[in-house]
Amino acid sequence: MSKSFTKGVKKMTNILLSSLQTAMADMVYYTSAYTEMYTLYVQEANKSSSEYNKKRADYFFHNSDSKARRAIQYALDLGLDPEVVCKDCVNFFDSYKGDWKKEVA
**pLDDT single digits (tens) 43-94:** 999 999 999 999 999 999 999 999 999 999 999 999 999 999 999 999 998 8
> Is 69 domain-assigned?
yes
> What pTM, to 2 d.p., does this model score?
0.82
Q: Rg for the chain (alpha carbons), in Å?
A: 19
Q: Is 90 exceeded by the pLDDT of residue 101?
A: no
Task: Give the mean pLDDT of 25-45.
Answer: 96
> Is 6 domain-assigned?
no
What letters, b where the CB count within 10 A reaches 16 and e where it falls short, cover 9-25? eeeeeeeeeeeeeeeee
> 5-9, 14-18, 79-83: lowest mean pLDDT where?
5-9
How many domains does the chain contain in total? Answer: 1
> Is 18 domain-assigned?
no
Task: Give the mean pLDDT of 33-48.
Answer: 96
Domain, as residue range, for 55: 26-103
> Is 3 domain-assigned?
no
Q: What angle, 0 to 180 degrees and rounded to 10, lies between the N-to-C axes of helices 87-96 and 54-77?
A: 130
Distances from the Cα of 87 to the Cα of 29, 46, 100, angstroms: 14, 23, 11
> Is 62 domain-assigned?
yes
